[in-house]
Structure 1
Amino acid sequence: MEVTWIDKRLSWNASHYGGISSIIVPAEQLWLPDMALQNSANDIYHSSLVENKFRVSIYSDGSIFWVPGGKYYTNCELDISYFPFDDQKCELHFTNWAYNGNQMNLSVQASNISLDNYQVNGEWDIVTTRAHRQEKFYACCGDTPYPSIYFTIYMRRKYLFYITNIIAPCVMLSVLISLVFYLPPESGEKVSLGITCLLSCIVFLLLIAESIPKRSDSVPIISIYLAIFLTITTASICSTVVVLHVHHMGTKKVPMIVKRIVFDILARMLCLSELARKYGTSSCRHGDHEPMDSSMTSTMINSCKNPSMLGRQTSHRRSTNNGRISNNTNGGMKKSFSITDDRIAQHIMLNRNYVLEEILTHIKIFTQERSEHERIESTRQEWTAVAQVLDKFFMSVFMSSIACSTFFVLIMLPMSKVELASL
């Protein structure tokens, strides 16, 4: 501080004293202004103002120049809504404690604070400074003014440290959370990766908790971003559990409403046209394809449904041949051959009917098992396709959420703040 005033009692003619125009004397030998730091965080009367260790320069015209120094501590009301992109305002309120404005007037020499001797700080930048005089009138004293001097400092926090050590790791972890949905469900590591990312997030939040100002009157944007990040991480794990449950759904048929939502809407939105064409409701309207060997199985069953017709045809061919043989032999021989062939044909036909019935039974069982196996496999493939579409959908949703939250919270909100120096 630089304090100047005029005391005519201390003026002299320099020519009468060998041309001496100024002298330096101890401060305790003079009258000094009764200055006090009104909003001091320590003593209102600072030691440099009370102990008078700093000397005073007296000039021949009666002007006095006093430069008391020291560390002044003041209370500043902080607004951390935009932390770490916040601007803060601090005031030094100096007032005349004992005298009123009629007895000792206070005025400022400049409208700002000189920063010629300012040393650059690693955490704050000084945007601008102001100095102004203000008079107050109290009810007890009528029209008597009480002047005060306000030195205001507008500071802006340097946020490179917080971007490097807080925001950048959060963005990297959030991208890693989104890649959980890119991992195939067959790997069995989706939930493990999600929980690992969640634990890393919690440990990281504990480490940076000391860097965030502890105030309850406002919530800084970095806390909002970290809360959104933790919410996205938790939601991604829950979504991963849902996808795994769908992937391992089993033999339950996929409901038509699920097909419409997943394949007809989501798959087309995500450009998964192959899955939409293969499993969508439009393919179901044309009817499901039967197993590959169904036509062959139907033909075999139809051919084996009436084995007696085959026996009669065989017996007719044998009787025709026997009739041809009987033209070259005698009548008794013909009768003997005819009786024997009929018995053999009946025996063969009975055995053949039994065999054909057994074959038909096994074919039916095989066909049913094959159809059931193909139905189960087709259902599992449909559920796997549903899980694949949901994976891509959740990945798109969470990647978009991360990008939007980062853009609005860390870019748009700091840009929308009002500069304190312009108020």
Structure 2
Amino acid sequence: MVLLINVDEKNQIMQTNVWPTMKWVDYQMRWDPRDYGNIHTIRVPPDKVWLPDIVLFNNADGNYEVSFYSNVVVEYTGEMLWVPPAIYKSSCTIDVEFFPFDEQICAMIFGSWTFNENEVTIKYLMGKRQVELNDYSPSGIWDLMDVPGELIQKKSKIAYQIRIRRKTLFYTVILIIPTVLMAFLSMMVFYLPAEASEKITLAISILLALVVFLLLVSKILPPTSSTIPLMAKYLLMTFVMNIITILVTVIIINIYFRGPTTHTMPSWVKTIFLKHLPMLLMMKRPISSDELERRRSKRKPPGSPTTVKYRPGEFIEMNHARVHHPYCALQHRHNKNEGEDNALLNATTSSAIEQEEVSSAEISALLSEEAIKAIDAIDYITEHLKQDNYYKKVREEWKYVAMVIDRLLLYIFFAVTAGGTMGILFSAPNVFEYVNQTAIIEQLKLSAEAEMIS
């Protein structure tokens, strides 16, 4: 065997360059060297002597015989040696289960086309069961592991089992590493903020890239249904995980934008996703807007009004100023009844000087109709702010639930992706085995020489 040219996995054909060595005895070609000028060896054209019709039975291109007929070396004892160079295309059943960490065993079956075992008996040349590899050139795609021979069908045929193993560097760089990176990149969708529209964009982009890799694998491997290739399993797992990512992301976005007007949060959701899971996931809940406002209100600037106390000495001077609070900005209108209002205010003030405080009923009597309307408006605004704060609190709770689900799925998908990567890619039997092609070839040569000596 000289060279392993190609292994076409798609069409399941192995192409090799071999020198089939055939040796037999023809009693008609004997002579005495003393009668012919001491000539011991001659070379004659193949069409001048009898040739065994040894062909490749499992050929894949219809060419059973050798393409070039070289001369036959004839010894004076009648021994004939014929070594025609040939390029064979043999059929080979490809086992794609562990692709690209696969190992193939391709047979080359030789035998006589017209003679049976009683007429032509095939034997090992010089007792060598192994293929001679003295002129073998290593392949850049496959490593040659072993080439044992076996006589079959009562020594009428000989079959060489060529065991080869794929070099995985090319497929590791081009196929495996990008797929693994995309598998781990797909789970980073859960690390993006829930309101980001790029979550769906990223997931769909990875999904399209996985489809391209699936098409690439389908073009390399034969369309067999006996087994699923290792790489196809991993791509399929990543594809399914990405589909689940898209579906879950849609649900998370829906949860994120929920509010009190459309959804009511169940108590079990509050218990699980607002209390227990954040503790397990070591998540710290963001400070709500109400809490921020509360913290700001504790830091009051100097002179900020907090309470209003009745001071008789100052109340008299509030005729044309503010009535009940410096921030209401409500002033008495100066109309035609201004004198009557002033008289009423002065009378009430005189009686209030004798008391320490003024009851709320008395203060209400002092207020004008416009002030009462303003107070009602303030009450309405206060209720509206309370309701708005409640809605904001509920929306923040839904947002936090979405954040907790995102973080939980991030950990789950990381564990599943890491476990699936190790479980699928590392299931090949020879994934970590280093192949020294030169050492293997030398070992096969020594083994063949040892068989020849024995």
The TM-score bracket by the shorter chain reads 0.7 to 0.9
Determine if contact 2:214/2:232 at 8 Å carries over to the other structure. Answer: no
Where 1:171 maps in the other structure, the secondary structure is helix
Matching residue within 22, 27, 45 for 2:46: 27
Q: Which residue number corresponds to residue 393 of structure 1? A: 408
Determine if contact 1:6/1:62 at 8 Å carries over to the other structure. Answer: yes
Q: Which residue number corresponds to residue 60 of structure 2? A: 41
Matching residue within 386, 390, 393 for 1:371: 386
Matching residue within 189, 209, 219 for 1:210: 219
**What is the deviation of 1:415?**
4.6
Mind listing any 5+ residue stretches in structure 2 that lack a counterpart? 1-19, 298-306, 309-323, 325-346, 355-360, 433-454
| RMSD over aligned Cα atoms | 3.5
Per-residue CA deviations over 1:231-274 (Å, capped at 9, x if unaligned) read: 122211222111111111112442211123323443233222x3
Within 5 A, what are the aligned runs for 1:184-199? Answer: 184-199=193-208
Taking the aligned partners of 1:107 and 1:264, their CA distance within structure 2 comes to 81
Determine if contact 1:37/1:46 at 8 Å carries over to the other structure. Answer: yes
Determine if contact 1:38/1:44 at 8 Å carries over to the other structure. Answer: no
Taking the aligned partners of 2:353 and 2:21, their CA distance within structure 1 comes to 142
Where 2:109 maps in the other structure, the secondary structure is strand
Where 2:190 maps in the other structure, the secondary structure is helix
Within 5 A, what are the aligned runs for 1:67-86? Answer: 67-86=83-102
Structure number with larger C-alpha Rg: 1
Where 1:412 maps in the other structure, the secondary structure is coil
- Identity of aligned pairs, percent? 29
Q: Which residue number corresponds to residue 114 of structure 1? A: 132
Amino acid at match of 2:285: L
Taking the aligned partners of 2:44 and 2:430, their CA distance within structure 1 comes to 54
Higher alpha-carbon deviation: 70-79 or 4-13: 4-13
Taking the aligned partners of 1:265 and 1:319, their CA distance within structure 2 comes to 59
Amino acid at match of 2:156: P
**What is the deviation of 1:357?**
6.4
**What is the deviation of 1:41?**
1.8
Task: State TM-score, norm by structure 2.
Answer: 0.68
Amino acid at match of 1:275: R
Matching residue within 202, 206, 209 for 1:200: 209
When residues 348 and 118 of structure 1 are mapped into structure 2, their CA distance, relative to the original with a 3 A threshold, is: closer
Q: Which residue number corresponds to residue 128 of structure 1? A: 146
Amino acid at match of 1:192: T
Taking the aligned partners of 1:69 and 1:194, their CA distance within structure 2 comes to 55
Q: Which residue number corresponds to residue 275 of structure 1? A: 285
Q: Which residue number corresponds to residue 22 of structure 2? A: 3
Taking the aligned partners of 1:38 and 1:248, their CA distance within structure 2 comes to 70
When residues 363 and 90 of structure 1 are mapped into structure 2, their CA distance, relative to the original with a 3 A threshold, is: same
**What is the deviation of 1:412?**
2.1
Amino acid at match of 1:245: N
Within 5 A, what are the aligned runs for 1:12-411? Answer: 12-43=31-62, 45-48=64-67, 53-109=69-125, 110-136=128-154, 147-207=156-216, 209-251=218-260, 252-272=263-283, 274-275=284-285, 318=351, 350-352=365-367, 361-362=376-377, 364-411=379-426
Determine if contact 1:39/1:75 at 8 Å carries over to the other structure. Answer: yes
Determine if contact 1:14/1:21 at 8 Å carries over to the other structure. Answer: yes
Where 1:133 maps in the other structure, the secondary structure is strand
Mind listing any 5+ residue stretches in structure 1 that lack a counterpart? 137-145, 280-288, 294-298, 305-313, 322-345, 418-423
**What is the deviation of 1:149?**
0.8
**What is the deviation of 1:67?**
0.9
Q: Which residue number corresponds to residue 307 of structure 1? A: none
Taking the aligned partners of 1:347 and 1:259, their CA distance within structure 2 comes to 48
**What is the deviation of 1:21?**
1.4
When residues 112 and 265 of structure 1 are mapped into structure 2, their CA distance, relative to the original with a 3 A threshold, is: farther
Determine if contact 1:10/1:62 at 8 Å carries over to the other structure. Answer: yes
The number of residue pairs the alignment matches comes to: 354
Taking the aligned partners of 1:378 and 1:117, their CA distance within structure 2 comes to 81
Amino acid at match of 2:55: A
Taking the aligned partners of 1:34 and 1:197, their CA distance within structure 2 comes to 58
Q: Which residue number corresponds to residue 338 of structure 1? A: none
Determine if contact 2:22/2:83 at 8 Å carries over to the other structure. Answer: yes
Amino acid at match of 2:280: M
Taking the aligned partners of 2:353 and 2:228, their CA distance within structure 1 comes to 106
When residues 211 and 99 of structure 1 are mapped into structure 2, their CA distance, relative to the original with a 3 A threshold, is: closer
Taking the aligned partners of 2:109 and 2:364, their CA distance within structure 1 comes to 122
Determine if contact 1:178/1:398 at 8 Å carries over to the other structure. Answer: yes
Taking the aligned partners of 2:206 and 2:64, their CA distance within structure 1 comes to 55
Tell me which protein shows more helix as a share of its residues.
1
